[in-house]
Chains A and B, each alone.
Chain A
Amino acid sequence: MSPWLLALLVVVDGTLCGFRAAAGRNPRLFLRSYYLASLGRGAGRSLVVLAVFAGAALLVWEFSPEGFDALLLAADAMVQVYGVYAVVTLSALGLYVIGHFDLGVLATVLVLGPFTLARPFVIIAGAAWAAGSAPHPLSVALCVMSAVVMVSFERLLDVGAPPWRGVLPES
């Protein structure tokens, strides 16, 4: 169950990264299609990341059964950390989207802003917790690699896209 939950969390996180990578770069008011494209870009690239790590996991399953067992333990540990973060973040996002002025501002001030800043640290903490829970060389290696990729994921979304999306002068 944990690998599937972890995959879902990667896609949700990647999709939200897509939003953040695009936010603050287009000064128009009506941005529905702009943001939908950005969310799609985030989701799409997160699926690519997922495919790469799934491929790596399959190789481990094929050649190192004990390594694969460690990977499953690591996935359990990651879900514990990232699951809590995701539930809090998505709850705050829901509160914001509902539209009540004060609740929206409170969700932003207490969760959405601070949790964005905390995200890299949470990713590293989750990976460290997972590596500690399943100290097999292969699972540790994959934990480290996944943390590196997800911490830098938002920047990866800028690859191939002008930083200011062509709306503003680039330099």
Chain B
Amino acid sequence: MRADWPELSDLLLDVDPLTLARRPVPRARVNAALARHGMRAGRRIVDAIAGADVLDEAAVDGVLVRSHTELQRLAVEFRNGVRLQQLLRPLLEVLRAEVTERPLRVVDVGCGLGFVVRWLAAHGQLGDDVELVGCDFNPALIGLARRLSAEEGLRCEFRLANAFTLERRAHVFISTGVLHHFRGAALSRFFGQQAQAGAKAMLHCDIKASWAAPLGSWLFHQARMREPLARHDGVLSAVRAHPASVLLDAASTGGRPLRYALHDGEWAPLPLLRSMNTVVGLDAALEAPLRARLGASQARLGGFA
């Protein structure tokens, strides 16, 4: 696997970014992309999806929903909700002192099944003045996220929408496992759109690039996943994970005027304990108050630039 290989989940869904209308996905186009990169295992997985000339939408939805459900199991095991809460709670405390507008709006970009948003709504103890919104382009995932949050009585909202063009602005953008989907200029643009949307801060958590990441990802996806697409994309995600320098360069290039640092980004000889890191983007005025709120754990937060 190589970092320039596309993830299958990105090839199987085509949504117009302006109208959010779902467009048919011709099988030949997917196969051509897979052939271009020599992705034979990926081709076998796509071949198993129903549909003749065009991939069957229901079959694609089924694969993606099952893959995301399995992914949620890993998110639970690796405590991704707690991971984000550790930064989000102090950040919201800082924002309460700095921002008069209420509610404080936290928007999850590319939320999938909305595990993190739902977990934060259930366990996050973020306060009654915080509004949690999950956005994604995939109607099947958003539909299930809505159903699950309704069934469990959670105070959060899921939107089939572009997170950066919501009618009410987000104070904080968050994401988990999204950054590695973007490369080059698209990664800078990702940060730029959030800064332009008027966000005060952002927390983007993703797999930390290291020698152990692909091996560890392979191991866990073999041990925990059943869906072939989930196994394939899970390992590829670790291969595609961006090094710290790439993340911070892209954020600084595209996402001004906010300033950026990496949480848990320091390299360690055994990067087993910190398998994920988080790009923290902040309005410059919030840096010192956030460090103060983090207390001793602020040592895990690198320098802002």
Task: Tell me the A residues contacting B by CB distance below 8 Å.
Answer: 23-30, 101-102, 104-106, 108-110, 112-114, 116-117, 163-164, 167-169, 171
Residue of B66, B77, B86, B119 near A108 (CB, 8 A) is B77
A113 with B223: CB separation less than 8 A? yes
Is residue B38 within 8 Å, beta carbon to beta carbon, of the partner chain? Answer: no
By beta carbon, the residue of chain B nearest A30 is B152
Residues of B56-74 contacting chain A, CB below 8 A? 58-59, 61-62, 65-66, 68-70, 72-74
Question: Chain A contacts of B225 at CB under 8 A?
Answer: 24
Residue of A102, A114, A164 near B66 (CB, 8 A) is A164
Question: Considering only CB atoms and an 8 Å cut-off, how many residues of chain B contact the other chain?
Answer: 39
A168 with B118: CB separation less than 8 A? no
The interface centre, meaning the residue of A24, A27, A29, A169 with most chain B CB atoms within 10 A of its CB, is: A27
User: Quick one: CB contact mask for B172-214 with A, threshold 8 Å, 1 for yes?
Assistant: 0000000000000000000000000000000000000000000
Question: Chain A contacts of B243 at CB under 8 A?
Answer: none
B69 with A29: CB separation less than 8 A? no
Question: Chain A contacts of B68 at CB under 8 A?
Answer: 27
Q: Between A and B, how many residue pairs show CB distances below 8 Å?
A: 79
Q: In angstroms, how far is the closest chain A Cβ from the Cβ of B72?
A: 5
A26 with B273: CB separation less than 8 A? no
Q: In angstroms, how far is the closest chain B Cβ from the Cβ of A163?
A: 8
Q: In angstroms, how far is the closest chain A Cβ from the Cβ of B266?
A: 14
Question: Chain B contacts of A25 at CB under 8 A?
Answer: 69-70
A105 with B273: CB separation less than 8 A? yes
By beta carbon, the residue of chain B nearest A103 is B273
Is residue B11 within 8 Å, beta carbon to beta carbon, of the partner chain? Answer: no
A114 and B219 in contact, given A24-B70, A109-B275, A164-B66 (Cβ under 8 angstroms): yes
B222 with A117: CB separation less than 8 A? yes
Question: Chain A contacts of B223 at CB under 8 A?
Answer: 113-114, 116-117
A105 with B79: CB separation less than 8 A? yes
Question: Chain A contacts of B222 at CB under 8 A?
Answer: 117
A29 and B122 in contact, given A24-B70, A106-B272, A109-B272 (Cβ under 8 angstroms): yes
Is residue B224 within 8 Å, beta carbon to beta carbon, of the partner chain? Answer: yes
A24 with B69: CB separation less than 8 A? yes
B275 with A27: CB separation less than 8 A? no
A169 with B65: CB separation less than 8 A? yes
Residue of A101, A112, A114 near B82 (CB, 8 A) is A101
A24 and B226 in contact, given A108-B78, A110-B272, A113-B220 (Cβ under 8 angstroms): yes
By beta carbon, the residue of chain A nearest B83 is A101
